[in-house]
Structure 1
Amino acid sequence: MFTFIDLFAGIGGIRIAFERAGGRCVFSSEWDVKAQETYYANFGEKPAGDIREVHDQVPDHDILLAGFPCQPFSIAGVSKKKSLGQAHGFADETQGTLFFEVAKILRNKKPKAFLLENVKNLRSHDKGRTFRIIKNVLENELGYTVYHEVLDAKGLVPQHRERIFIVGFREQIHFEFPQLPKEGPPIRSILEPEVDEKYTLSDKLWSYLQSYAEKHRAKGNGFGYGLVDLDSYSRTLSARYYKDGSEILIPQEGKNPRRLTPRECARLQGFPEDFKIVVSDTAAYKQFGNSVAVPVVEAVAKNMIIALEKNISITKDREEKEQNA
């Protein structure tokens, strides 16, 4: 059994994936109070608070896990901050610099491996400068062998969700990201048979969303609501889903479409059926929108463990491929 720490833990999606892969969590950190409530309800422990204040509490561990805050790098987050005249990326003092808190722990504890997860836009943010800084810190300053890839969850859950995964090893060992299916389950497979009427959009909201979409369509923009094909997959679930649910709307015969329920959001992200939802709908939508697609992380976790156990050096792997060519 290997040990891991769960940083920027949210509601524990990455933890679930690594526990399924055979690991044991020895420390968790999450500063959002509502997320701490959900985490405690499901894992029986309250995560430590602000990562900047808990470095002395972090124990030795084999693998560091961190879905560090993505808002400074996400397309929506950058656009919003620019419109408000606010800094974004590493210039965002409250969130963008939290990567360096992860780097401090890697430097001090020197775990065998790490997994970092973030939005796809991290690679292109600030014309690639942000990602180059991150890679330079991990590879040249900390000495890790680093792999990265953008994976789409839609082959494992009914949701188009592209996220970048950055995997690193202290040793120069060979690693391959999992090959995920191109097609996955349809969204109808995660829907509840009976849903409270409160999730159906009001006439006022539905009318607003339709006129908003039409206005942008006339301008040639792609903005608008996402009415789901039940035999396909949805758009990406985001933390703003609580506002109007517009990115993922479920069609209903003879009446206005509806939002997903919190339980359906949990399923959309691949959380187990017994995962406890103990907060309000609004908080739950934020939490699942900020979380990960658990089966994708589980697939990455299993490949990481295989790589650590086989411990095939990059040089040896390259030589074997040349011999077989």
Structure 2
Amino acid sequence: MEFYSGIGGMHVSLDRAARHTGGSFEVLCAFDINPNANVVYQLNFGLTVNHKSIENFDCDYLDSFGADTWLLSPPCQPYTLQKGAKQKDTEDPRAKSFLHLLKLFPTLKKPPTRILLENVRGFEMSETRKQLLSTMTPSYNYQEFLLSPTQFGLPNSRMRYFFLAKKKPEDFLDPSRNGSVLCFIPCCKYFDSEGRPLEGIKKIECYLEGDDPNLHSYLVPQRLLQKTSRVMDITKKSDSHSCCFTKAYGQYVEGTGSLLQQNLDIDLDSEDSKGTDIIEKLELRFFTPREIANLHGFPADFTFGSLTKKQQYQLLGNSLNCVVVGNLLQYLLQNQDSKI
């Protein structure tokens, strides 16, 4: 089952894992209360998302699905380390639904045999995480991770926390790592035996849409350039880095994600290019939703239907990286057929 399914990042990740392992899976149900996300999910996977509030679930309802794997991506706002965040943790109303699941968990008659949870960096320091571990430790072997797409060769920084668990006596390929917070995936082709990344980071140009005549509509408005020119992160197509894209991307430029410099005749690092007047000559534009989806590992045929650019940015900002999660699922499932 997919809890907080969003636009289907977990589903795409499952597809990736199944292709690489030869296993198969069946998604029994997906849950989310965001109507735009649910439209996108149904468009791409043909499955109607259940918009019932998780806080209204009881044990009988969860047991009725008989799912052996739970995939969860609870709201991140209670735990985010972003500037201005209140970090209210368990006191944040948006944490209630996940805390409700934890409360129900010990009394389930058919608990899942495998669990994957994704959240922002900061969750690992939360009271919610303490409650998660307290709930799972008696019956599950677990491993925790802090991973970014850059470790998998993708030019995008998006550090996230992951929790993987297997119901005892089932265990991980490398059980010596149980109870640890890891910065690599054991037995994964992207890392050597010491946990060092093996993949070189690709260039931004590999993920761009090319010479689309509609790209002019993504130019950053002058009002935003004048207001926040000193706090923008600027990248070029030849670079191998970009900042994490948030749901406010396209509306603001400070701390929401990188901008793409199109005029490559100007070198921002040279002495002649100092000063705010040079910013307007850079021909800065926003990354398109399709380009962000590419960086997040969504397939080329993934569609947002008729949603506006703003809506697409919001959904992508709340999504996950399918390459990272796909590799975690390979590690979790180990060639097993699953009802999810």
> TM-score interval w.r.t. the shorter chain?
0.7 to 0.9
Partner AA of 1:165 in structure 2? F
Instruction: Name 1:314's counterpart in structure 2.
Output: none
Match of 1:61 in 2: 67
Aligned to 1:272: 299
**Contact 2:40/2:304 (<8 A) preserved:** yes
Give the match for residue 319 of structure 1.
Answer: none
User: TM-score of the superposition, structure 1-length normalised?
Assistant: 0.80
More helix by share: 1
Q: Percent identity?
A: 24
| Alignment coverage as a number of residue pairs | 281
Q: 1:11 maps to which residue? A: 7
Query: Counterparts of 1:35-114 in structure 2 under 5 Å?
Result: 35-49=37-51, 50-55=53-58, 56=61, 59-76=65-82, 79-81=84-86, 88-93=88-93, 95-104=94-103, 106-107=105-106, 108=108, 109-114=110-115
Please name the residue that 2:321 is paired with: 293
Residue type at the aligned position of 2:260: I
TM-fit CA distance, 1:291 = 0.6
CA RMSD for the aligned pairs?
2.1
Whole-Å separation in 2 of the counterparts to 1:106 and 1:12: 24
* Secondary structure, counterpart of 2:137 in structure 1: helix
Q: Is the 8 A contact 1:156 1:295 kept in 2?
A: no
Report 1:96-135 matches (<5 A): 96-104=95-103, 106-107=105-106, 108=108, 109-125=110-126, 129-135=127-133
- 1:192 pairs with 2:209: yes
State whether structure 2 residue 228 is matched by structure 1 residue 225. no
Bigger Cα displacement from structure 2, 17-26 vs 238-247: 238-247
User: CA contact under 8 A between 2:102 and 2:132: conserved in structure 1?
Assistant: no
- The amino acid of 1:166's aligned partner reads F
**Contact 2:4-2:74 within 8 A present in 1 as well:** yes
Amino acid at match of 1:198: S
Q: Counterparts of 1:106-255 in structure 2 under 5 Å?
A: 106-107=105-106, 108=108, 109-125=110-126, 129-140=127-138, 143-154=139-150, 155-172=152-169, 173-176=171-174, 177-178=185-186, 179=188, 180=190, 181=197, 183-193=200-210, 194=212, 195-210=214-229, 213=230, 224-230=231-237, 231-246=239-254, 247-253=257-263, 254-255=281-282
Q: Quick check: 289-298 or 255-264, which moved more?
A: 255-264
1:263 counterpart SS class: helix
Give the drift of 1:29: 0.1
TM-score, normalization: structure 2? 0.77
Q: What are structure 1's unaligned runs of at least 5 residues? A: 83-87, 214-223, 310-325
Alpha carbons of structure 1 residues 121 and 53: separation in structure 2 relative to 1, 3 Å? same
Partner deviation per Cα, 1:86-124 (whole Å, 9 max, x = no partner) = xx110112x123222332564423111100011111112
Flag the structure with more relative contact order, 1 or 2, with Cα contacts below 8 A and sequence separation at least 6: 2
Q: Is the 2:77–2:85 Cα contact (8 Å) retained in structure 1?
A: no
